[in-house]
Chain A
Amino acid sequence: MKKDWRERELTMEVIVGAFIVMIFLGLGYFTIILSKETWFTKKTEMNVVFGNVMGLRDGDSVVVRGMPIGKVKTLDLAVNGECPGVHVSLMLDEPLVMHEGYEAKIVSTSILGGRQLQLSEGPADAPVLDLDFYRGKDPYDLMEDAADIVNAARTQITEGKIFEKIRNVVDNIDEVVTRVNAGKGTLGKILSDDDTLYSDLEASVASVRTMVTRVEQGKGSIGKLLSEDSTLYDDFSAAVAALKSITEGIENGEGSVGKFIKDESLYSDVEATIGEVRAAVDDFRETAPITTFSSIFFGAF
């Protein structure tokens, strides 16, 4: 009987012990996971000074090129000293080499809130910096921007006379509508009860339609040209071919015109001949009165 009790007691102890060990292991594992600590990697510390941290908190992520590489360790407000502002100490999982032109800024992770610190190392070819404190840019506050936009809109509405301008536009539109209703202007005449302009427009459209119908039927020069009966087109084509043949002949120096254009000696001869003819004509002009007078004078005898 006593042995049975001892066995039961031992069983209970083993079960309770196993349960407790299991729960402690789970608690330990959970604690490691929830703390998001990477205990077995070497950490690097970096300090950034901001003028305003916009609600950044310790434990917020530090992101480089969109990848989380550490988190915010502490935030200290330094009112005085050589570097006044909010000193943010970062714990990075891997060392980060900062170059001139680096950037450190605080951004919102979502529209509902939450912040993270974004780091950019700067151009790779720029000189490397090794500073005690890096300077961070003041955060970009979406809500503040929205408030500025609303204020600007309000100022424009109240002081920029937007309502007055809108009222003027409406007045102008009203005036246009009144003129149209009164049948004034082209649009008014079209829309008015007096349908003269409309009739003219209709007649013009009818004329255009008639013309298009004639063209479609192959009537007139354009119609014949576009009709399926290709006689005119063939004639036109033959004429173009003949013209092309003549042009080619001229181009090749064939015929009188071709030779005249292509043969430079012929051109020179013609030019010389023309010169001589011009000289002969001039001589004849100078001698003509004398010749005429001589003919008349001697003709009398």
Chain B
Amino acid sequence: MISREPEFFPPSRNMFGRLGRSVVFSFRETGRAVVLLVMAILAMRHMFKKRSRTEIVVQMFVFGIKSLGVITVVAIFTGMILALQTGLALRQFNQEVNIGTAVMVSMLREMGPFMTGLILAACVGSAIAAQIGTMVVSEEIAALEIMSIDPVRYLVMPRLVAMLIMTPMLAFYMCIMGVIGGGLVGQTQLGVSWDAYIDNATRFAEVKDLVVGMFKAFLFGGIITVVACHQGFATTQGAVGVGFATRKAVIVSFLLILVVGYFVTRIFYV
């Protein structure tokens, strides 16, 4: 059951009571989010059915293609900033030709997946949370359950699959755009030829960088969707609750992206 009955808890009398309650609630919310993830994964067995397939493609279009504009701009300027900063530092040693390596490795390992995760958390995660939150407060979710339509299969699974597919792809797209942006700065500002830049960029980057970066983006996609859907389903208190759920979804997604990003780097590179 996704729909929640209204709950009432008497106010705590002291600080320890409030603290204990918030700890217990946060554990409960984490548990619910994990249960939601498991239910969505189980519902993936229906993903190749006609209705689900169509919904997944629609969500991929909304999450991926419609985010391309903002991702392109962010990626190009991220690459340009990286190239300019490292290029100016390396110029002191006449090593500005090595900006290709710096930009490529940074984008593949960290900046590509990380920036994509942040953009999708802000654009897509907030939209998912707001949409599901609105459906919850207008009792559309309850109506679906009454009609024996599983909200997880109908709402969560297509979004999760779409995000799991599109986030690594957008991260790769962001890496390519970032490298192109770095090359533009290298050619126009630092006097590094395009050929030397690309040669340097591909010489030191490894397949492992690409694979780990895409794996990170895959995890970020899952995190954003599950957090947004969970916050949406947990919405209470009408329109105010929708805004609260949206804000919380974005904040939690940001924090989890940072923490999970660190641990993935720690696991694969240390």
Contact = CB atoms under 8 A, between A and B. Distances in A.
Given A26-B172, A26-B176, A34-B210, A16 B205 contact: no
A30 B173 CA distance: 12
Interface string B162-206: 000100010011001000000000000000000000000010011
Contacts of A251: none
Interface stretch (A7-15, A90-98, A131-139, A286-294): A7-15
Given A9-B57, A20-B169, A34-B202, 20 more contacts: A9-B58, A12-B57, A12-B58, A12-B65, A13-B57, A16-B60, A16-B61, A16-B64, A19-B65, A19-B68, A20-B165, A23-B173, A26-B173, A27-B210, A27-B214, A30-B172, A31-B210, A34-B209, A34-B210, A35-B207
Interface of B: 54, 57-58, 60-61, 64-65, 68, 165, 169, 172-173, 176, 202, 205-207, 209-210, 214
Nearest to B203: A36
A115 to B, nearest CB: 14
Contacts of B176: 26
- A interface secondary structure, majority: helix
B69 to A, nearest CB: 13
B5 to A, nearest CB: 36
Contacts of A31: 207, 210
Contacts of A300: none
A33 interface: yes
Contact of A27 (B58, B64, B172): B172
A23 B206 contact: no
Contacts of B202: 33-34
B57 A16 contact: yes
A23 B65 CA distance: 12
A27 B206 CA distance: 13
Contacts of B54: 9
A40 B76 CA distance: 34
A73 to B, nearest CB: 15
A23 B172 contact: yes
Interface in A1-51: 9, 12-13, 15-16, 19-20, 23, 26-27, 30-31, 33-35
Nearest to A11: B61
Contact of B210 (A12, A16, A20, A30): A30
A157 B210 CA distance: 54
Contacts of A59: 206
Contacts of B206: 34-35, 59
A27 B61 CA distance: 20
Contacts of A23: 169, 172-173
Interface of A: 9, 12-13, 15-16, 19-20, 23, 26-27, 30-31, 33-35, 59
B217 to A, nearest CB: 12
Contacts of B209: 34
A13 B62 CA distance: 11
Contacts of B205: 34
A206 B70 CA distance: 93
Contact of B207 (A16, A26, A34): A34
A31 B206 CA distance: 8
Contacts of A9: 54, 57-58
15 contacts: A9-B58, A16-B57, A16-B64, A16-B65, A19-B65, A20-B169, A23-B169, A23-B173, A26-B172, A27-B210, A27-B214, A31-B210, A34-B202, A34-B205, A34-B207
The interface centre, meaning the residue of A13, A16, A30 with most chain B CB atoms within 10 A of its CB, is A16
Contacts of B65: 12, 15-16, 19
A14 to B, nearest CB: 10
A19 B63 CA distance: 12
Contacts of B169: 19-20, 23
A113 B152 CA distance: 53
A242 B206 CA distance: 96
Contacts of A15: 61, 65
A15 to B, nearest CB: 5
A73 B21 CA distance: 58
A177 B33 CA distance: 90
Contacts of A27: 172, 210, 214
